[in-house]
Amino acid sequence: MIDQDQSCHDLAADFQDVRALSEQICEPLAVEDYGLQAMVETSPLKWHLAHTTWFFETFVLKPFLPGYTSFHPGYEQLFNSYYNSLGSPHPREQRHLLSRPTVAEVYDYRRAVNRRILELLDSSRCPPQARSRIELGLHHEQQHQELMLTDLKYNFAQNPLQPCYRPAQRPALHVSGLGFKPQAGGVLWIGHDPDLEFGFDNEGPRHQVLVHPFALADRLITNGEYLEFIQDGGYSRPELWLSDGWSRALNQHWQHPLYWQHHGSEILEFTLHGLQPLLPELPVTHVSYYEADAFARWSGARLCTEFEWESVANQTMVPRGLPDFGWFHPAATAPTLSHPQQLFDETWQWTQSAYAPYPGYRATAGVLGEYNGKFMCNQQVLRGSSCVTPAGHSRASYRNFFYPHDRWQFTGIRLARDV
């Protein structure tokens, strides 16, 4: 819940900032770019812009603004993602066929809904439950802002012209040898503390877990280290792989991370800044859980559990700065003697933990209960945040989740060891 002392004025400012960022992400695009959907798992950016607007219209304006009528009745189905309680969503794999509404009409839709949300916040008719849903909607839109960039990257990567989303200067390269920081473990509190900040329902209830002593790598695995795994036959050694992963790697002809390309003797990597030389110092990214697990076995280590990761992240300052629109790729960093680095802002980190409910978990009541709970099956938990996670959207208790074969997100590798 939102702090009841937070003014509607503050929430209105947050609303305008988040909504503006989605449109800022789209500024470099041509109108033809808005409709791309190269695989079922991605969505056109036009759809993202409309769906996040649909969320505010459906869950805030309709129940809380007296006399409100839909901007367009057809949008109720077109831009519903997976809320089956509200009817049959338009098929996900057909979102790229929606040439209408046009991009201009989607922006009209956003402006109209924005105006009515701000009208609600500026009135005496905005109850606490409406403010809570607006806050949820803002975090929901931040999730989609990250998806907008990862989906666009995948879509652009299918184009032989290797389009550049934004030009960029390469960041400074600092990296040292991989080390492991011992952690005492113990009976630890895990999960979101509702008294501190916003959290999704899947981050709670807060509860205690037993964590045995372990050691956590002080940084992420780099491209150079992953290349050693490849050169040692990592993709041709079944003893390193989980059975499902080995089958997937064979069937999909995996030989390297998703966006690596061999050009003669040179390895290049497709990025949101176009095709770039593979830099060995940068964190490896766009690997599946299966690849991360195989690399961990090859290196004589393992992936950490989500509880191990959170116990360390709870001792770390979570970044709150503004997003860096100059660099949309993981960056290198020099480890310190104090604690592990790169827990946030570079890549999501696969854990060996299955995405399942915490003890005592109850999904949010009503239609919004479909937000997280129904996906708690056959997926793995990722922790941290990535180079395209919006500012203010990272926290130690955040539980991201994807299927173990997924590779199009900015997913990376952090190792752990038993002590």
- Residue 274, both tokens: 């176009």
337 CB neighbour count, 10 Å cutoff: 7
Q: Are strands 348-354 and 411-412 parallel, antiparallel or unpaired?
A: parallel
Query: Which tens digit of pLDDT belongs to each residue from 388-418?
Result: 999 889 999 999 999 999 999 999 999 999 9
Three-state DSSP class for 112? helix
For residues 133 and 343, give the distance between their C-alpha atoms in angstroms, rounded to a whole number.
29
Three-state DSSP class for 239? helix
Between 151-165, 246-260, 298-312, 367-381, the lowest mean confidence (pLDDT) is in 367-381
- Angle at 84 (CA atoms; ends 87, 131), nearest 5 degrees: 95
Domain ranges of the chain: 8-157, 180-418
Residue 322's nearest CA partner among 341, 345, 340, 343 is: 345
Residue 180's nearest CA partner among 34, 339, 49 is: 339
For residues 391 and 24, give the distance between their C-alpha atoms in angstroms, rounded to a whole number.
14
For residues 158 and 163, give the distance between their C-alpha atoms in angstroms, rounded to a whole number.
9
Helical H segments across 164-298, by residue range: 223-231, 243-252, 289-298
Confidence of residue 2 (pLDDT cuts 50, 70, 90): very low
For residues 374 and 197, give the distance between their C-alpha atoms in angstroms, rounded to a whole number.
24
Q: Are strands 207-211 and 214-217 parallel, antiparallel or unpaired?
A: unpaired
* DSSP conformation letters of 315-333: TSPPP-----TT--S----
Confidence of residue 320 (pLDDT cuts 50, 70, 90): low
Q: Give bridge partners of residue 210 from the DSSP assignment.
A: 187
For residues 204 and 57, give the distance between their C-alpha atoms in angstroms, rounded to a whole number.
27
Instruction: Please report the pLDDT score of residue 333 as a whole number.
Output: 80
- pTM equals 0.95
Query: Which tens digit of pLDDT belongs to each residue from 327-353?
Result: 899 998 876 667 899 999 999 999 999
CATH C-level class of 180-418: alpha beta
